[in-house]
Amino acid sequence: MGGSSVAVSTLFLEQGVELVVIKELLGHAHIGVTATVYAHVRFHLQRQAIDLLGHALGNLPETAAEPDDGDDPPLGAVPVR
């Protein structure tokens, strides 16, 4: 898979395009392949969504030591196999 395919697909995910649509565009036979390749992007987007909700609800602690870099899956995330 070329670097430009990865970049375009990452942009699709970041804009909310469904994984199944990206799978079809890339020609992957199984969605698990697509999900595995882009798991890091999905975790980052999930973390952002959780953080946004926390801010909206006012439930995030004021004294966060460091901002989340998005590398760790959000709590309750299940790895795709």
Residues 6 or more apart whose CB falls under 8 angstroms from that of 64 comprise: none
- Cα end-to-end distance, the chain, whole Å: 20
What is the tally of structural domains in the chain? 1
- Tell me, yes or no, whether 31 lies in a domain: yes
Tens-place pLDDT, residues 36-74: 877 777 777 788 888 899 888 886 555 555 556 666 665
- Tell me, yes or no, whether 17 lies in a domain: yes
- Tell me, yes or no, whether 65 lies in a domain: no
- Tell me, yes or no, whether 40 lies in a domain: yes
User: What angle, 0 to 180 degrees and rounded to 10, lies between the N-to-C axes of helices 3-14 and 39-57?
Assistant: 20
Tens-place pLDDT, residues 3-36: 666 777 888 888 889 989 999 998 989 998 888 8
pLDDT averaged over the chain?
76
Per the listing, tokens 């469904």 go with 18
Q: Give the span between the Cα atoms of 14 and 23, in whole angstroms.
A: 15
